[in-house]
């Protein structure tokens, strides 16, 4: 396969995966609505850094390693599931807490750094994402890719991941979505917690299932 075609095929597959709803989407959307636009953009940045991390690991052969060392994959799956459950519990417990969302775009103290860290941890907590990256790279990347492809992939992956979630952050930090969230905060937070918790439980059950 031509290197240029392979590159765009990989980026297209990753873009489809990023757009698909999941815990990352829920986290960025909720952060943008409940905290601030800057916090949402910081979360988007965290997603981008997580994507680059997976891309780099995939290039280093993580997919092959996880496929051959079963206990490592199961360990990562269990740890990722437990983190998502922890995150879901935090959101659920805070569902009824009253928050004051600023009308301006100013970030709340500590919101940006915490949002970045939470988003990065959420992105890295799902070993299936590592498998997806590794599988796509293994399937579409030439056996001996030219150096320019290897240098182009990490920043391109960052632009896809961070760019998409930045769009999500900007969309959900607008006035109407924010007002709707404040009116129905408890239900929306519990729905978000349920989605994230269900994904976490699924990972934990899969890690404990033989075979």
- The model's pLDDT over 17-29, given as tens digits with 9 standing for 90+, comes to 777 666 788 788 8
Examine the pLDDT at 197 and tell me if it is beyond 90: no
Q: Report how far residue 159's alpha carbon sits from residue 165's, in angstroms, rounded to the nearest whole number.
A: 10
Q: What is the pLDDT of residues 85-107, one digit of tens each?
A: 877 887 788 777 765 444 444 44
Mean pLDDT of 48-76: 74
CB 84 within 8 Å of CB 23: yes
CB 30 within 8 Å of CB 190: no
Task: Count the domains in the chain.
Answer: 1
Q: Report how far residue 180's alpha carbon sits from residue 124's, in angstroms, rounded to the nearest whole number.
A: 30
Examine the pLDDT at 44 and tell me if it is beyond 60: yes
Relative orientation angle of helices 23-34 and 37-59, to the nearest 10 degrees: 160
Relative orientation angle of helices 3-19 and 147-172, to the nearest 10 degrees: 20
pTM for the model stands at 0.66
Quote the domain boundaries for residue 175: 3-208
């Amino acid at each position: 396969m031509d290197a240029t075609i392979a590159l765009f095929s990989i980026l297209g597959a990753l873009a489809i995966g990023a757009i698909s709803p999941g815990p990352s989407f829920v986290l960025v959307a909720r952060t943008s609505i409940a905290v601030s636009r800057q916090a949402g953009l910081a979360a988007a940045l965290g997603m981008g850094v997580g994507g680059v991390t997976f891309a780099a690991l995939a290039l280093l052969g993580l997919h092959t390693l996880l496929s051959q060392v079963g206990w490592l994959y199961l360990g990562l799956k269990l740890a990722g599931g437990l983190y998502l459950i922890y995150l879901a519990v935090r959101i659920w417990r805070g569902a009824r807490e009253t928050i004051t969302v600023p009308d301006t775009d100013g970030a709340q103290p500590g919101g940006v750094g915490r949002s970045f860290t939470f988003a990065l941890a959420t992105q890295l907590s799902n070993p299936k994402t590592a498998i997806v990256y590794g599988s796509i790279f293994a399937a579409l990347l030439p056996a001996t890719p030219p150096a320019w492809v290897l240098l182009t992939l990490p920043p391109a992956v960052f632009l896809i991941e961070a760019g998409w979630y930045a769009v999500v952050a900007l969309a959900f930090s607008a006035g109407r979505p924010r007002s709707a969230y404040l009116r129905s905060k408890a239900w929306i937070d519990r729905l978000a917690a349920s989605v994230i918790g269900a994904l976490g439980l699924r990972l934990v059950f899969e890690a404990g299932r033989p075979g």
